[in-house]
Structure 1
Amino acid sequence: MPGLFTLAIALSGMFLIAFMKGAFGGGFAIVGIPLLSLAMDPITAGALLAPLFVVMDITALHYWRPNTWSRVDLAMLLPALVVGIGLGYFALRDLDRHAVEIVMGAVTLAFVALWFLGGGEVKPRPRSTWKAMLAGLSSGVTTMVAHSGGPPLAIYLLPLGMSKALYAGTTSLFFTVGNLLKAGPWLVLATPSKSLWVLMALCVPAVPAGVWAGWRLHERLDQRALYRACYAILVVTAAKLLWDGLAGYVRA
């Protein structure tokens, strides 16, 4: 059986991620590995999270139905996501992941800075095939490397000025596909011990509870509040990416 401290950290982390999945549709799982790393090494944390994300996605699809999916955007994003996850697997296995974290963190902070300079308003922009493909590819790489695919996707979707339900539903389905694809590779990279499987099972009840609580919050948020919350979380996640990347080089 896992220790009480490890169990408490894992349950808290899963509830928080599931809560944000219900409220925002996904993309903020980056908090998972840093939080769980308080009780275990990052690779083990990633292996614990990968199968639980699949459970979370299946739960979230109960709320984010097909009428909340932007099919035109998903048609451009998903093929690039598949390629990105493949590249991310080899990056995680063979390359330095800290450089990826630093670049993505810097790009995301620059994107948010432009938003603030624009007066904190979401200014709708036309769709771009190449921007969608770049976002899907970048998200695939970063979600595989560090469960942090949210910022690249948000950089593409937020300026489209979607309704809050369409934004949440689109990101939910996007990461459902991504998490299904990366669960197997993560388990290959870090084969879970019997204790870790037990910890996964104990964390499962936190998933539907968190998704439901987040979805209820989403229903009460207005459009402006949701977008502001998304940008605020982007700042936190981008800062965490930068910190992890730079700290990795310092430790080395």
Structure 2
Amino acid sequence: MELTLTTILVAFAGVFLIGFMRGAFGGGFAIIGIPLLSLVMDPVTAGGLLAPLFIAMDLYALRYFKPSTWSKPDLVLLLPGLVIGIGAGFLLFRFLDHRTITLAMGVTTLIFVGLWLVGGAEVRTRPRSTPKAITAGLASGVTTMVAHSGGPPLAMYLLPLGLGKDVYAGTTSLFFTVGNATKLVPWLLLVKPSAHVWSLMALCLLAIPLGVGLGWRLHGALDQRQVYRACYGLLVVTALKLLWDGVSGYLG
């Protein structure tokens, strides 16, 4: 990867977009920014570039998503599966067919959103389920390590609970703070960033407070219904991106 002006601008825009989503919705939609980075570098290099930046983003986001916004009962159920899933994703990284995983995750996400639309597109509170939480944590851990798409499994568990918008965003934020810290070393072992990549990371750090801060302002302006509708809408965009990646991977 060459450190050109185009590379710097595109990477800065991608990190800004991810930070914006983090501030507005708590995280889980990083995959929306990754396609931008893929315009100037391969996806694996992009993953290595973002891994340390996610940590900085997480630390900055904690100033907004304080412990009062965390759903601790759900995090207790979700986090062990997340850590185990990341470990499994790292061990299987070289053996799994990423295209198949990507397609399956995209189809599952679209089905989930479709069921919500059929049900009237309303926020309905459903009881907490330990098996569903464990499954969501595991699935999110594997997919965030293998395909950078840990958001949909978590959203499929949290959205039906009908949490308040601040609690939903705060719980998501802490979930991915733990996940990003856990997968940092595995990603750096897989990618081994070059000096140019490290330099680009340093430049992109400036995009984090801008993106997260602007996203937080949007979060505060939205009401409960708007936040949930936006999250479901972002899931559709994410699912379509996953399907595109999977299909183009087979065709390419």
- The two structures have a TM-score, normalised by structure 1, of 0.98
Which residue in the other structure is 2:54 paired with?
53
How many angstroms apart in 2 are the aligned matches of 1:93 and 1:57? 28
Deviation for aligned residue 1:165:
0.1
How many angstroms apart in 1 are the aligned matches of 2:170 and 2:137? 16
Deviation for aligned residue 1:218:
0.5
Number of residues of Structure 1 aligned to a counterpart in Structure 2: 251
Q: Which amino acid aligns with 1:86?
A: G
Deviation for aligned residue 1:148:
1.0
How is 1:76-95 mapped onto 2 (pairs within 5 angstroms)? Answer: 76-95=77-96
Deviation for aligned residue 1:94:
2.4
1:118-139 deviation digits (Å, cap 9, x = unpaired) = 1110111101000000000000
Deviation for aligned residue 1:2:
1.2
Percent identity (aligned): 65
Secondary structure of 2:102's counterpart equals: helix
Which residue in the other structure is 1:165 paired with?
166
CA contact (8 A) 1:32 1:49 kept: no
Q: Which amino acid aligns with 1:38?
A: L
Which residue in the other structure is 1:105 paired with?
106
Flag structure 1 segments of 5+ consecutive residues without an equivalent: none
How is 1:93-242 mapped onto 2 (pairs within 5 angstroms)? Answer: 93-242=94-243
How many angstroms apart in 1 are the aligned matches of 2:103 and 2:237? 14
Tell me, yes or no, if structure 1 residue 41 matches structure 2 residue 42.
yes
Q: Which amino acid aligns with 2:11?
A: A
How is 1:23-42 mapped onto 2 (pairs within 5 angstroms)? Answer: 23-42=24-43
How many angstroms apart in 2 are the aligned matches of 1:93 and 1:181? 19
Q: Which amino acid aligns with 2:207?
A: A
Deviation for aligned residue 1:93:
2.5
Which residue in the other structure is 2:75 paired with?
74
The root-mean-square deviation of aligned C-alpha atoms, in Å, is: 0.9
Flag structure 2 segments of 5+ consecutive residues without an equivalent: none
Q: Which amino acid aligns with 1:70?
A: S
Q: Which amino acid aligns with 1:123?
A: R
How many angstroms apart in 1 are the aligned matches of 2:92 and 2:229? 33
How many angstroms apart in 1 are the aligned matches of 2:33 and 2:186? 18
Tell me, yes or no, if structure 1 residue 248 matches structure 2 residue 220.
no
Deviation for aligned residue 1:146:
2.1
How many angstroms apart in 1 are the aligned matches of 2:67 and 2:232? 25
